[in-house]
Amino acid sequence: MKYSVPQVIFFAFTLVMAVAIGHILSLIFLGVPDERVMGAVQRIFYFHVPSAFAAYLSLTGLFIGALGYLATEKKSFDALQESAAEVAFLFSSIMLFTGMIWGNAAWGTPFTLEPRLVSTLLMWLLLCSLNLFRSLGDSPRLPTHAAVIGILSCLTVPVVIYSIKLLPRFQQLHPQVVQQGGLSDPLMQTAFYRSSFAVMGLAGLFVWLRYRIARQEQELLAQEREENL
């Protein structure tokens, strides 16, 4: 059985990502020392922040797919925006809930009404609404409407990133770990950077896989319509 070049690349990338994820898990749980104040709970940081990066990367794909579909109405762009929206929702959910676990351990509350947390929740709600709309909607204009919602979701990214600058540091609970040099141990820095690249690579793999599935679904739907004519 012969495999095409894209299939070989996909399988090779999947193998690389499996090895990378295994490596960072061993590094996080067996190599990185406990943080001086928070102890072992700080390890959730290596899932929380990389998941945020992965969500932003997926939202970039969503933005490209949404703009491309509005400009051309090509089904390939619709498949991209659908795929990226689902993966963005997955990683934004991981980011949100790991942040709540970390916040509850560090601050005694999982959520506060400060700019970074509120804007993150808004982004998550928009992505949740977008995916529910795609799942339950049944209209010829569904991809167009989804593209508009997708662009609105993407526009929350700079708000989330820069919202922490809206209030003085002493008025916010959310830390700026990397900017403040909180990763003092070299192993912590290594774990953070490697986990960030690995999780972003995993997000790219998920988008790629879901895109291929979406394109096959579009082809099957087109064949069914031709048979019914």
d(CA 89, CA 54): 10
Q: Which two tokens stand for residue 117?
A: 């947390």
Residue 1 has pLDDT above 70, yes or no: no
Segment 94-152, tens digit of pLDDT: 999 998 888 888 778 888 888 888 889 999 999 999 999 998 877 788 999 999 999 99
pLDDT at 128: 96
Residue 5 has pLDDT above 90, yes or no: no
Give the mean pLDDT of 161-183: 62
Tell me which of 136 and 86 has the higher pLDDT: 86
* Residues listed for the chain: 229
Residue 42 banded pLDDT, cuts 50, 70, 90: confident
Residue 162 has pLDDT above 90, yes or no: no
Q: Identify the residue whose tokens are 């909180």.
A: 182
pLDDT at 19: 93
Mean pLDDT over each residue of the chain, to the nearest integer: 87
Q: List, as one string, the DSSP characters of the chain.
A: ----HHHHHHHHHHHHHHHHHHHHHHIIIIISPPBTTTBGGGGGHHHHHHHHHHHHHHHHHHHHHHHHHHHH--HHHHHHHHHHHHHHHHHHHHHHHHHHHHHHHHHS-S--SSHHHHHHHHHHHHHHHHHHHHHH---TTHHHHHHHHHHHHHTHHHHHHHGGGSS-GGG--S--TTTTT---SHHHHHHHHHHHHHHHHHHHHHHHHHHHHHHHHHHHHHHHHHHH-
Give the mean pLDDT of 18-30: 91
Residue 76 has pLDDT above 80, yes or no: yes
Q: Which two tokens stand for residue 1?
A: 């059985």
